[in-house]
């Protein structure tokens, strides 16, 4: 049986049920009201207000510059649009790494001011205390391992992570630690499919992949990539469902032509 379409509100418990029953979890990023409404109407299970907003909405090279206030603004817009799906919001860089109290305060701001349902943060062992404190306050936490973009200057590259055994073992250890700390789900980004499969098999919580292969419990993509709005980003894991860059550019060129040629507006399009 599939709960897709039958469930009125997706919760962390729904995702757990999906994992147990082999139903894959669908997740996309969203940053604004209009797109979030379409995704929710389409039946998406989870919307992530990702700090990738820093890249695709604000035009920064990395996710590091986006602020907590800016994340809350995006999250508020998404929350206003959604009836059914679970809304998870990224804690941005610099708002949780200091200590667990800072992490809790940032999470509380997201829950109170945006009305989100859960938060996500990046990292393993080093964020365990923070996760325990946030979960202890009643806030569901999603973990994120593998390629963690907030650490891009440490990695030095966006290449696939954990290809070597040592890093793969560390990731395994961290995945267990995050589950034990109380995470309700885990995102794995850009790692070998075999490792994704191993983590998903061992962990009881749902594992959602982006470039982590077919054997994890669900998939997430950045909406601009999935819809083909970004055109210069073509990692192997990306499937484009539309080519909106070309479609929107074409429509804009058409509009410009109609305005210049005085074709728009016509008699029926004026008062
Ligand atoms: O910020 C984001 O979009 C993310 C996804 C890549 C999982 O964290």
Transcribe 107-161 into DSSP letters: HHHIIIII--SEEE---SGGGHHHHHHHHHTT--EEEEEES-GGGHHHH-S-SPP
Q: In 88-98, which positions are buried (b, 16+ CB within 10 angstroms) versus exposed (e)?
A: bbbbbbebbbe
Q: Looking at the structure, tell me whether residues 191 and 204 fall in a common domain.
A: yes
Q: Residue 39 falls within a domain, yes or no? A: yes
Q: How far is the CA of 150 from the centre of ligand 1 (A)?
A: 10
Domain count along the chain: 2
pLDDT value at residue 225: 98
Respond yes or no: is residue 189 known to be catalytic: yes
Q: How far is the CA of 211 from the centre of ligand 1 (A)?
A: 11
Q: Tens of pLDDT along 196-210?
A: 999 999 999 999 999
pLDDT value at residue 1: 46
pLDDT value at residue 4: 62
The closest alpha carbon to 157, from 133, 201, 190, belongs to 190
Q: Looking at the structure, tell me whether residues 175 and 262 fall in a common domain.
A: no
Q: Residue 26 falls within a domain, yes or no? A: yes
**What are the contacts of 229-237 at 24+ separation with CB within 8 A?**
229/56, 230/56, 235/190, 235/211, 236/211, 237/190, 237/210, 237/211
| For ligand 1, atom 1: residue with the closest CA | 50
Low-confidence ranges of the chain (pLDDT < 70): 1-5
Query: 84: which 2 tokens?
Result: 């059914």
Q: Residue 151 falls within a domain, yes or no? A: yes
pTM of this prediction?
0.97
Domain of 248 in residue numbering reads as 244-271
Q: Distance (Å, rounded) from C-alpha 111 to C-alpha 75?
A: 10
Q: Looking at the structure, tell me whether residues 88 and 179 fall in a common domain.
A: yes
Which residue of the set 6, 169, 189, 267 is catalytic? 189
User: Which CATH number does the domain housing residue 162 bear?
Assistant: 3.20.20.60
pLDDT value at residue 6: 76
Q: How many CA atoms lie within 13 A of 97 on its CB side?
A: 9
Residue to substitute in 25, 51, 66 for testing ligand 1 pocket (most ligand atoms within 8 angstroms of CB): 51
Output phi, psi for 144, to 5 deg. Answer: -155, 115
Q: Looking at the structure, tell me whether residues 204 and 121 fall in a common domain.
A: yes
* Adjacent-strand bridge partners of 26: 219
């Amino acid at each position: 049986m599939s709960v897709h379409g039958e469930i009125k509100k997706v919760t962390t418990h729904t995702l757990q049920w999906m994992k147990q029953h082999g139903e894959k979890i669908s997740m996309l990023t969203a940053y604004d009201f209009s797109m979030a409404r379409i995704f929710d109407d389409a039946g998406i299970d989870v919307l992530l207000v990702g700090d990738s907003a820093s890249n695709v909405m604000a035009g920064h090279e990395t996710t590091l510059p986006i602020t907590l206030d800016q994340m809350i603004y995006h999250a508020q817009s998404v929350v206003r649009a959604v009836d059914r799906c679970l809304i998870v919001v990224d804690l941005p860089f610099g708002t949780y790494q200091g200590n667990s109290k800072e992490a809790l305060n940032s999470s509380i701001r997201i829950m109170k001011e945006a009305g989100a349902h859960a938060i996500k943060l990046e990292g393993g062992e080093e964020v365990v205390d923070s996760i325990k404190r946030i979960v202890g306050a009643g806030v569901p936490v999603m973990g994120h391992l593998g390629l963690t973009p907030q650490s891009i200057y440490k990695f030095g590259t966006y290449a696939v992570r954990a290809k070597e055994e040592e890093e793969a073992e560390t990731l395994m250890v961290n995945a267990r630690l995050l589950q034990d700390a109380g995470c309700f789900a885990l995102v794995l980004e850009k790692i070998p499919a075999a490792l994704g499969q191993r983590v998903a098999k061992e962990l009881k919580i749902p594992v959602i992949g982006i470039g982590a292969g077919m054997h994890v419990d669900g998939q997430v993509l950045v909406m601009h990539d999935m819809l083909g709005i970004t055109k210069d980003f073509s990692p192997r894991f990306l499937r484009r469902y539309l080519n909106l860059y070309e479609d929107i550019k074409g429509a804009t060129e058409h509009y410009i032509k109609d305005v210049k040629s005085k074709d728009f507006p016509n008699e029926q399009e004026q008062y």
